[in-house]
Amino acid sequence: MSQTSEAKQKLQHETLFKREKNNPILTAAHWPYPVNSVFNPGATLLEDGTTLLLCRVEDRSGLSHLCAARSKDGISNWVIDKKPTLLPSPTEYPEETWGIEDPRITYLPEKKVYAVAYTSYSMPGPTVSIALTKNFKKFERVGMVMPPLNKDAALLPHKICGKWAMIHRPTTSHYSHIWISFSADLDHWGDHKMILQARRGPWWDSDKIGLSPPVIKTSEGWLMIYHSVRHTASGAIYRIGLALFDLGCHQTCLRRSDTWVLTPEAGYERNGDVANVIFPCGYTIAEDGDTLRLYYGGADTCIGMVTGSLRELLSWLQGNSKVMDSDDISLRENNYD
Ligand code: BMA
What is the structure's pLDDT at 1?
45
Nearest CA to ligand 1 atom 4: 300
pLDDT in tens, 27-60: 999 999 999 999 999 999 999 999 999 999 999 9
Reading across the β-sheet that carries 178-183, which strands appear in turn?
150-155, 164-170, 178-183, 190-196
Measured distance CA(217)–CA(195) in Å, rounded: 17
What is the structure's pLDDT at 330?
40
Q: Which residues' Cβ are closer than 6 Å to ligand 1?
A: 40, 101-102, 238, 274, 277, 279, 297, 300
Measured distance CA(240)–CA(211) in Å, rounded: 10
Measured distance CA(269)–CA(276) in Å, rounded: 6
Considering only CA atoms, which of 91, 93, 154, 84 is closest in space to residue 121?
A: 93
pLDDT in tens, 78-113: 999 999 999 999 999 999 999 999 999 999 999 999
The mean pLDDT of 169-192, rounded to a whole number, is 94
The mean pLDDT of 221-231, rounded to a whole number, is 96
CATH number of 9-323: 2.115.10.20
Nearest CA to ligand 1 atom 10: 300
Choose between 323 and 112: higher pLDDT.
Answer: 112
Domain positions in the chain are: 9-323
> Full-prediction pTM beyond 0.85?
yes
What is the structure's pLDDT at 329?
39
The mean pLDDT of 191-203, rounded to a whole number, is 95
Q: What is the largest CA-CA distance in the chain?
A: 66
Pocket test for ligand 1, best of 98, 279, 281, 302 (most atoms within 8 A of CB): 279
